[in-house]
Amino acid sequence: MKLSVIGCGYLGAVHAAAMARLGHTVVGVENDERRYEALSKGEVPFYEPGLPEMITAEIEAGRLTFTRDIADATDAEVHFVCVGTPQTPGRHAADMTYVNGAIDGLLPVLRPGAVVVGKSTVPVGTAAGIAERLDEHGTDVSLVWNPEFLREGFAVQDTLEPDRIVMGVGPGERGQQAGKVLQEVYADILDTGTPLVVTDFPTAELVKTAANAFLATKISFINAMAELCETTGGDVTKLSEALGHDARIGRRFLNSGIGFGGGCLPKDIRAFMARAGELGADQALTFLREVDAINLRRRDAAVGVVMAWLGGRVVGKRIAVLGAAFKPDSDDIRDSPALSIAEALHVRGADVVLHDPKALANARRKSPQLGYADTVEQAAHGADAVLVLTEWQQFRDLDPAVLGEIVAGKRVFDGRHALDPDRWRAAGWEYKTLGRPHA
């Protein structure tokens, strides 16, 4: 089939390449000059394992092209809207500028019978508004809402082998028909037995925000338990292990530490609360305020532990921060707990030197006031404390004996329960973390 993908950021670039991989002819529409130039050459302006290879292969196979001109999407039978919905500066609500702009751009190029598929994460009620605009425009065009659940770092796999496909369709035969067209696009994926859930528009929109709200709640729940462990002498890692054996609870997303960040979970729970407020249903989501607060408190707790450790004052102390990305296998530093802790210690006068295997350039751009090092060793050289704040495998694998030779003080803070305390202590280090007072 002929498809277009409007907006080739994280979601769109992956989706465009994956749809080409399924055998469709795909044109990716990208306004941003730099991003367009990069993608056209098969370069990916962010770190995502496997994606550059897939884009290059699909461009070479002739199934994938990129353009800056939406008119090149005229031929497409299905248009995927994949633009971003960031947090509005100074407010909690989602910024809908890009979604509205994408629909404005699409209206003149839609041909009768085309299907528009919304994939962006949007406030509930958005799809109904877009469907109305399409109807008013007078073309026989239908809308399907098809949220995306991919994780950064696993984006290719999550798109080609999703754990479910959700399709919100409009009323009547026309809605069903549009859903069928999208099922045809995803036929190869559905044939492998991937569950398909067909809903109305609001339910499909809610599935996405509810899923992220649930994941955020699970993380904040275990981090609240970590706070209790700190006051009672319990061990949160054992608590996670024991809770996780209950199949109804499950072990995943029960990793405590410095909390969640990234371009999705934090902004999505805030936008969800803002939307519920607009709809007069704010009470239903008041608990998410607490989820957000617990999460942010963990960053303060980490700063507090390090400050107390270094005698209450960090002015002139050298602190090596290992990790800037919001999670490993990513170069994304949006709302990263690691970077926010590094910034907080810098503001308190510490001489912070940061290393990350992939996110250095992004971190440098966002926080030029911090010191940066190309290797762990350079960062740790002469440090009074080493903070592991993103659980990259290479940090887990560090040899405490070797690192111990180059630091000024053998103090390691483990913000993600990534290290083995016994191993570090055996090499002469003081080890501290959150939620495990006696670890």
- Nearer CB in complex with ligand UGA: 147/175: 147
- Nearer CB in complex with ligand UGA: 175/262: 262
Q: Which of 8, 82, 229, 264 is catalytic?
A: 264
* 171-179, 248-256, 346-354, 364-372 -> range binding ligand UGA (CB under 6 A): 248-256
**Does the footprint of ligand UGA cover residue 253 (CB under 6 A)?**
yes
- Nearer CB in complex with ligand UGA: 73/150: 150
Could you give the C-alpha distances from 357 to 5, 216, 324, 327, 392, in angstroms and in order? 31, 26, 9, 12, 8
Place of tokens 């999505």: 268
**Does the footprint of ligand UGA cover residue 48 (CB under 6 A)?**
no
- Amino acid found at 217: T
Long-range contacts of 374-382 (CB under 8 A, 24+ apart): 376/320, 376/322, 376/403, 377/403, 377/406, 378/353, 379/320, 379/321, 379/322, 379/353, 379/354, 379/355, 380/320, 380/406, 380/407, 381/406, 381/407, 382/318, 382/406, 382/407, 382/408
CA–CA dist 236, 257 (Å, integer): 9
* 127-135, 249-257, 282-290, 426-434 -> range binding ligand UGA (CB under 6 A): 249-257
Any catalytic annotation for residue 82? Answer: no
H or E element at residue 8: none
How many binding residues for ligand UGA (CB under 6 A)? 21
Angle, vertex CA 21, rays to CA 20 and CA 27, nearest 5 = 10
**Does the footprint of ligand UGA cover residue 159 (CB under 6 A)?**
no
**Does the footprint of ligand UGA cover residue 262 (CB under 6 A)?**
yes
CA–CA dist 110, 417 (Å, integer): 51
* 1-9, 257-265, 300-308, 313-321 -> range binding ligand UGA (CB under 6 A): 257-265
Q: 120: closest CA among 105, 103, 134, 104?
A: 103
**Does the footprint of ligand UGA cover residue 255 (CB under 6 A)?**
yes
**Does the footprint of ligand UGA cover residue 259 (CB under 6 A)?**
yes
- Nearer CB in complex with ligand UGA: 331/384: 331
CA–CA dist 291, 135 (Å, integer): 39
- Nearer CB in complex with ligand UGA: 98/326: 326
- Amino acid found at 91: R
**Does the footprint of ligand UGA cover residue 212 (CB under 6 A)?**
yes
Single out the residue of 106, 204, 215, 271 in contact with ligand UGA (rule: CB under 6 A).
215
Question: Cβ(139)–Cβ(114) under 8 Å?
Answer: yes
Single out the residue of 48, 58, 152, 343 in contact with ligand UGA (rule: CB under 6 A).
152
User: In the window 320-359, what residues touch ligand UGA (CB under 6 A)?
Assistant: 326-327
- Nearer CB in complex with ligand UGA: 326/429: 326
* 21-29, 58-66, 259-267, 365-373 -> range binding ligand UGA (CB under 6 A): 259-267
**Residues annotated as part of the active site:** 264
Positions touching ligand UGA (CB under 6 A) are 121, 148-152, 212, 215, 219, 253-255, 257, 259-262, 264-265, 326-327
